[in-house]
Amino acid sequence: MNNVLLLGAGMVSRPLVRYLLEKTNVNLKVASLEFGNVRQLIESHPRASLQKLDVNDRQALRQVISEADVVISLLPWIHHMKVANLCLELNKHLVTSSYVKPEMRALDAEVKKRGLIFLNEMGVDPGIDHMAAMKVINNVKNRGGKIISFYSYCGGLPAPQNNNNPLGYKFSWSPVGVMLAALSYGQYLKDGKVVKVASEQLFEHYWFLDVPGAGTFEAYVNRDALPYMELYGIQEAQSMFRGTLRNVGHCETWNYFKKLGLFNQEFKVDFAKTSVKQAIARLINSDGKNLTKDIANFLNIPEYSVTLKKLEWLGLLSDEKLPLGEASIFDMFAHILQHKLVYEEGEVDLLIQHHEFIAEYPDGKREKLTSTLVDTGIPHGDTSMARTVGLPAAIATRLIVEGKINLKGVHIPVLPDIYEPILAELEAMNIKLVERSTWL
């Protein structure tokens, strides 16, 4: 089992490629439409090769998968099932960093029957979050206790020294993914009661969180937390929350972005003939003569509002014409974010993951436990996001190739056989979780 195929060579692929070339003896093929910053690594290595591939070409995709023993997919999640079905047909192991969808879970019995493993959610969130959580949860259970409350938070942000734009945010992955997540709803359990957060209220339902060694952030709900009670084996918990961390001011701003219609995928404009300013005016039925005032009235905010200052800084009030042709307002906003909220050469990002648990023991005592990861990128090197997404997938691939993960079926990293060696190796690379405990 010596041939590994990586599908997709995007922003988080370089640490994965480097690890597999330096830490293993596998033959690595990278198949993608673009090769970005992994091209030099591949072209200079005798065990690596590149292949240009459109994953929508099923015949070409089938051929390249047929030549591998283990397939790693860093493609957008919408492509995972076509990859998974081909891996099943051709008897290939599969590793992804994306959430397990019901269609993937439905393959479990057949994957087991064929003696394969499809290991998903091998990134940071999802991924390291599961592993850090299960380490604490299993330690509590081994001491006779149970988890009665679990709040989990994660966020990728600019490091403080490079937090130098008014939105307090930069993209270390696709803006489209962030924007789509902003349209989702949320649900969690608090003191035994289910709290539902509609998409329209997503950015109105937040609170401040102090993270040791990192600072104070806004926390808002990350999709549906309830299924994780069963996944983590903590069905008795009275509180279960999964949240996203952002810098202070983010939620109010993005709430107004949504209300303005910047996430509208239906409203189309011909950007060859229409400026950004004209598109915004058309979106809110303004004549464009005093667009700032009209936006303020539309959102019911003062003309001196910081949100309007941010819109102006982004260029949404400009006469610029974008090279988009016929496109939606959503596409326009994604294009602007991708070009404005960028990391400059030498700048670094900050990855924060913070878990808070309350454990209860048979003698009635309660313990508060936390597990915190604060990691920054490497100046002129890999981002923290790339390392914390790419390295867990790379380590898992090595363990599968070496026969050190012998599980079969569709899995996520909640079992000790998976998370113990991976967390140990990540810690050796200084991607380290700090655990703290106090008795209540």
Active site residues: 125
As a whole number of angstroms, the distance between CA 40 and CA 241 comes to 42
Please, what's the largest Cα pairwise distance for the chain? 72
Q: Looking at this protein, which amino acid is placed at residue 366?
A: R
Token pair recorded at residue 381? 């090197």
Using CA atoms, how far residue 304 sits from 47, 285, 297, in Å, is 59, 21, 12
Judge contact between 295 and 304, C-beta under 8 A.
no
**Residue 193, beta-bridge partner list:** 190
**Pairing outcome for strands 349-360 and 193-197:** unpaired
